[in-house]
Amino acid sequence: MVNNDILLGQVAVGDVLPKLDIDMTTSLIVMGALASRDWQPQHHDRSFAQERNGTKDIFVNTNHNASLIERYVTDWTGAKGRLGKIKFKMKSPVFPGEKLCISGQVSAVHQGEGGIGWADVSVTMSVDGQACTQGNVRVALPVEDDSNPWQIATEEWNPDFAPLGA
Amino acid sequence: MAQLEEISEISPMSVAEDMIGKHFYEVESDVRVDMNSVRSICAASENANPLFWNDKFAQEVVGACIAPPSSVAAWLRPHFWSPSPNADARALKLHFDLKEVFQVPEGIMVDNELTLYAPVKVGEQLRTYQVLRSVSEEKRVKLGIGRFWVIDVVIENESGERCAVDRYTGLGYRKDSDGE
């Protein structure tokens, strides 16, 4: 990650984020589940996943999906990008050996208070061209070089100002 | 069914309506946010954000070392094993309670939205409670007949600052094949 912070004025509706490919290994999926303290066996025990869930293998857990989405969006924004909302639906599981392709597009841009603004980004995670997770993220961005969403006063931090895209 | 509800002293819907807005399952986490776990979470998503790897940078930008915002729910999960028995640590217990109230055998989550407020700092011990926001009338859906309910899992830090609200829309239902 190169720490070049995007400013609100550099973002427009329709902007396409750089794609990100990640090889989802067994180790990465197990790591994602256990690091997020999700001990459900379908995320680390292949036999359990096959026999009890009827899936071909273990699969990525919910929190790991969220972490991947966060990483994807903040790779684009830089470290000053501060998440306000995450909403996603998992349509199909992601298994070991699959290459996950994450793509995104800016769906809305909003002016905020305290030197920040907001970008809404629609995010799609796909395997072999099929969307497996789709969601939306609202992220706060600095308006100027010296503004910082992480330092905004609590009363000015309002990610609820409008519904996040469906 | 209407007759049954009329003669019953308290209908399931009345029970559910009485639950709306109240705090349930207030729990303090049995883990503290720690930097090694933060970095394990980042490793699993190959997240190189310097906020989570460079303490000095995090202090300059945020004023503290913090956890990735999307990981907030992880800090509430109990240990895989613990010598202290925890009667019922099931996440989203309110969802299962509502299934019992309405006597529906099936339940799924259909939507989830995480809203983030105060950053979660390394060293903090979070606490949580669940709030029922709404329950719909009975509806026919693709899976059968059931009701939608909205549950907020509110997450706060030790100072009482709100860190996140994890809002779930659940569906409790009876498959057509289940009968009465």
pLDDT digits (tens, 9 = 90+) for A34-87: 999 999 899 999 999 999 889 999 999 999 999 999 999 999 999 999 999 999
Q: In B20-126, at which residue ranges do the beta strands (DSSP E only) sit?
A: 23-28, 106-116
Neighboring chain A residues of B51 at a CB cutoff of 8 Å: 79
The ipTM assigned to this model is 0.95
CA angle B68, B80, B120 (to 5 degrees): 20
User: Which site among A71, A76, A146, A148 would you substitute to test the B interface, given the most B Cβ atoms closer than 10 Å to its Cβ?
Assistant: A71
Nearest neighbour of B71 by CB, restricted to A39, A63, A89: A63
Q: What is the pLDDT of residue B5?
A: 47
Distance separating alpha carbons of residues A67 and B136, to the nearest angstrom: 32
CA of B3 vs chain A CAs: smallest distance (Å): 39
pLDDT at B3 over 70: no
Cα torsion B108, B112, B117, B118 to 10°: value is 50
Q: At A81, is the secondary structure helix, strand, or coil?
A: coil
Give me B19's structure tokens: 């639950």
Helix, strand, or coil (residue B5): helix
Give the number of other CB atoms < 10 A from CB of residue B134. 14
| pLDDT number for residue B90 | 59
pLDDT in tens, B96-147: 999 999 999 888 888 889 999 999 999 999 999 999 999 999 999 888 999 9
Determine, for residues A35 and B63 on separate chains, whether the beta-carbon distance falls below 8 Å.
Answer: no
Can you give the pLDDT at residue B7? 46
Asked if A71 lies within 8 A of B44 by C-beta distance, the reply is no
| Segment holding A39, helix H or strand E | none
**B78: pLDDT confidence band, cut at 50, 70 and 90?**
confident
pTM: 0.90
Cβ-based contacts of A74 with chain B (< 8 Å) = 47, 49
